[in-house]
Amino acid sequence: VGIMDGLSGLNRCVDEYPVEVISKRFRYDAALVSTLKDMEEDILEGLKAQDLEEYLSGPFTVVVKESCDGMGDVSEKHGSGPAVPEKAVRFSFTIMTINVPSNNSSVRIFEESKPNSELCCKPLCLMLADESDHETLTAILNPLIAEREAMKSSELILEIGGILRSFKFSFRGTGYDEKLVREVEGLEASGSVYICTLCDATRLEASQNLVFHSITRSHSENLQRYETWRANPHHESVEELRDRVKGVSAKPFMETLPSIDAL
């Protein structure tokens, strides 16, 4: 079963892909370049609207919203094609805002007016997999996450309006529903006694306290708790260990941010 990079130089014709391929994706940086080139007019108009010089070289700060969700049943009801999982998962991104420094302040030259519209949502990776399949999801998305981590600390030089300009990227993993958050952050499924993806509350604690809430979970803490779960350094029983790690049961591989986007 293969995982295929959509920009790896292979033939673009769908018929020429091996039938065993369960995922197709674009390289993250190449997809962002393509999207920014499509937005060239918007960027130049934004500079003009803010009375900024059109030859500004940046750095332009781009906020990228990431989304991932299951697409439900995509099975072929008839036909004799290859046996593949009957569920699909799509990972996509949206350019939310673009800012540029000017006179010791940050000026916004672009803001997506319909951030939840399909029209501005760029598909990055399509998987024939069940969103509950932690191993497959990890295997397919890990290279994509590695590319994102590399881009966090680097600048992209891109020609916009005939001038080379630099772009920095800030990623916001907000487009995930609870099921996906639990999956990518390594938490137990939604039937867990640890009811919340934002704090350590159990069902009982949550039912007794309906007023005071604070976000205490974090991606780094989930990673530490997974290592505790895996190594059991205190030689505890399963129940004691589960209480210590507060519902972390698999390795978290993607950082998410709490928001109301995916509700």
pLDDT digits (tens, 9 = 90+) for 183-205: 999 999 888 899 888 888 888 98
Question: What does the pLDDT read at residue 208?
Answer: 87
Q: Give 63-74 pLDDT, tens digit per residue.
A: 999 998 888 787
Per-residue pLDDT for 227 more than 70? yes
DSSP state of 14: G
Mean pLDDT for 110-132 is: 87
CA-CA distance, 230 to 232, in Å (whole number)? 6
Where residue 206 falls among pLDDT bands split at 50, 70, 90?
Answer: confident
Mean pLDDT of 226-238: 93
Structure token pair of residue 189:
């499924």
Query: 79 falls in which pLDDT band (50, 70, 90)?
Result: low
The least confident of 5-19, 39-53, 105-119 is 5-19
- pTM over cut 0.85: no
Q: What is the mean pLDDT of the chain?
A: 84
* Tokens 């949502």, located at residue: 121
Round to whole Å and give the CA distance between 247 and 128: 28
Nearest to 56 by CA among 117, 91, 107, 13: 107
List phi, psi (to 5°) of 8. -90, 10
